[in-house]
Amino acid sequence: MDLSFTPRELEFQQEVRQFLAGNLPPHIVEATASNSSVFVEKDIALAWQAILVEKGWAVPQWPTEHGGTDWTPAQKYLFSKECYLAGAPMLIPLGLLMLAPVIMAFGSDEQKRELLPKILSGEHYWCQGYSEPGAGSDLASLKLKAESDGDDYIVNGSKMWTTHAHLADHIFCLVRTDSSGRPQQGISFLLVSMDTPGVSVAPILTMAGDHEVNQVFFDNVRVPKSNRIGEENKGWQYAKYLLEFERGGGFSAPRIQHELQRLGKLVAATRQEIADFDADGEIARRIARLHIDLKALEITELRILSSVSGGGNPGPESSILKLNTTRLEQSINELSVDVLGYRGFPMNPIADGIPNRPDYISSVVPRYLNNRAASIFGGSQEVQRNIIAKMVLGL
Ligand SMILES: Cc1cc2nc3c(=O)[nH]c(=O)nc-3n(C[C@H](O)[C@H](O)[C@H](O)COP(=O)(O)OP(=O)(O)OC[C@H]3O[C@@H](n4cnc5c(N)ncnc54)[C@H](O)[C@@H]3O)c2cc1C
């Protein structure tokens, strides 16, 4: 593909810039800058989502018939880039970019009519029930049992590490409907309302001090079979499809570019303060390396995501994006902590030593700690390498 932008695309970029200048509220920018978690606060994300929905720009990746845009891949990329550079938050992808593509591809017409508008408007806030105690990388060994009882399933067991389960009103779950064959063969994909009797949520606090993840318990939870996506025992196919979107359904390079800009500001502030800062040029070399790696990621991302345009799926190449995005983000986190040095201690740094301390500095160490999990969630780095070896390289 041609990776340069046409005059029309550059005009579009200006239009996006103008829209952001007039419509991105400062309190959303501030909340995004000081956020140290994977997702911004729910109310902040939903406030920004509502503004984008009104403009018709909330889900450029969706087909137009469901409320998406007819933008080219380059326009989608430029939109994402301008949003991040302006300090806008990432919309929470669980419903919008993970569940919605599965509903579009495998859901019934009624499920599409009923659920997609509620995901888009933010009326439904979803969480992802895949992992369980003992079923993470080896996801197919999951045990959450769904037993048939007339038109319903009775669900028993638990899900682990469920991000935002304490904030969500719905959960999409992988359940075991058959244990007789290969583990992959007896899995179904079920949608459950969190207020169904028998569903309960217990918090898990991370080492960054955040409450993001939870364990969700199911105690004789009655779920209508009409809440199942697709066919019974075919859920593994839908689950893998969703993971492609989780690992590579959006643009990460613009977000990383924004993080590199923040690192640049941190370095500039530190340089003013410390006369012999980076005397041996090691930090400058690491920053140069990050910029080179970012360029490579940007081109790979554009190449892969151009194939997603118009409702396709990212394919196993999404593992390349997940692997490299995580590596780059964690390298930026590490370098930021190195630059901050002793001022980053204790965990929530005061950073008094830096004049005109920008807001984002207090989130450097919490962000570093929180983002250690990026090489685990969505499938660990080792698992991504296994997928690349088998599915992309054919080894
Ligand atoms: C912050 C956070 C948020 C999360 N959010 C969600 C969520 O919302 N919903 C959800 O369903 N899950 C979520 N997860 C779970 C996540 O997907 C799992 O933690 C992940 O898949 C790893 O599974 P595990 O924790 O059971 O580790 P294990 O599978 O036990 O892995 C332990 C280690 O062994 C390595 N390993 C395992 N198998 C192999 C192999 N075959 N080859 C090489 N190395 C291997 C792994 O790379 C890892 O380093 C979240 C996790 C975290 C940390």
**Per-residue pLDDT tens over the stretch 48-89:** 999 999 999 999 989 999 999 999 888 999 999 999 999 999
Please name which of 236, 249, 372 lies closest in space to residue 315, comparing C-alpha atoms: 249
Q: What pLDDT score was predicted for residue 347?
A: 45
Please tell me the chain's helix, strand, coil percentages from 3-state DSSP, rounded to the nearest 5. Answer: 55, 15, 35
Tens-digit pLDDT profile for residues 119-165:
999 999 999 999 999 999 999 999 999 999 999 999 999 999 999 99
Nearest residue by C-alpha to atom 17 in ligand 1: 377
Question: Is residue 300 classed exposed, middle or buried when 0-12, 13-18 and 19+ CB atoms within 10 A define those classes?
Answer: middle
Last residue of a domain, one of 178, 206, 234: 234
Flag whether 245 is in a domain.
no
CATH of residue 326: 1.20.140.10
The pTM of the full predicted model, rounded to 2 decimals, is 0.93
Flag whether 100 is in a domain.
no
- The count of domains in the chain is 3
Which residues line the pocket of ligand 1, CB cutoff 6 A? 127-131, 136-137, 161-163, 213, 373, 376-377, 379-380, 382-383, 386
pLDDT exceeds cutoff 50 at 26: yes
Q: What pLDDT score was predicted for residue 90?
A: 95
Pocket test for ligand 1, best of 36, 92, 377 (most atoms within 8 A of CB): 377
Task: Say if residue 267 is in the same domain as residue 382.
Answer: yes
Flag whether 151 is in a domain.
yes
Flag whether 372 is in a domain.
yes
Last residue of a domain, one of 91, 116, 148: 91
Last residue of a domain, one of 170, 204, 234: 234
Per-residue pLDDT, averaged over 16-24, amounts to: 98
> In the beta sheet, which residues pair with residue 159?
216
CATH of residue 189: 2.40.110.10
DSSP summary character for residue 135? B
Task: Say if residue 154 is in the same domain as residue 204.
Answer: yes
Tens-digit pLDDT profile for residues 374-392:
999 999 999 999 999 999 9
Q: What pLDDT score was predicted for residue 363?
A: 81
User: Average per-residue pLDDT in the chain?
Assistant: 91
Task: Say if residue 86 is in the same domain as residue 136.
Answer: no
Tens-digit pLDDT profile for residues 330-358:
999 999 999 988 777 644 444 455 555 55
Instruction: Find out whether 206 and 370 touch, Cβ atoms under 8 Å.
Output: yes
Give the rounded percent of residues in the chain with a pLDDT score beyond 70. 93
Which ligand 1 atom sits nearest the alpha carbon of residue 164? 8
Find the domain containing 326 and state its range.
251-392
Between 314 and 260, name the one with better pLDDT.
260
- Measured over the CA atoms of residue 313, residue 58, residue 216 and residue 382, the dihedral's sign is positive
Nearest residue by C-alpha to atom 51 in ligand 1: 377
Q: What pLDDT score was predicted for residue 192?
A: 98
Q: What pLDDT score was predicted for residue 34?
A: 85
Task: Say if residue 69 is in the same domain as residue 167.
Answer: no
Task: Say if residue 187 is in the same domain as residue 282.
Answer: no
Flag whether 111 is in a domain.
no
pLDDT exceeds cutoff 90 at 251: no
Tens-digit pLDDT profile for residues 77-125:
999 999 999 999 999 999 999 999 999 999 999 999 999 999 999 999 9
Query: Which residues does the annotation mark as catalytic?
Result: 246
Most trustworthy range by pLDDT among 197-201, 295-299, 340-344 = 197-201
Task: Say if residue 182 is in the same domain as residue 280.
Answer: no
Q: Give backbone dihedrals phi and psi of 229, rounded to 5 degrees, phi first.
A: -90, 130
Task: Say if residue 383 is in the same domain as residue 262.
Answer: yes
Task: Say if residue 182 is in the same domain as residue 263.
Answer: no
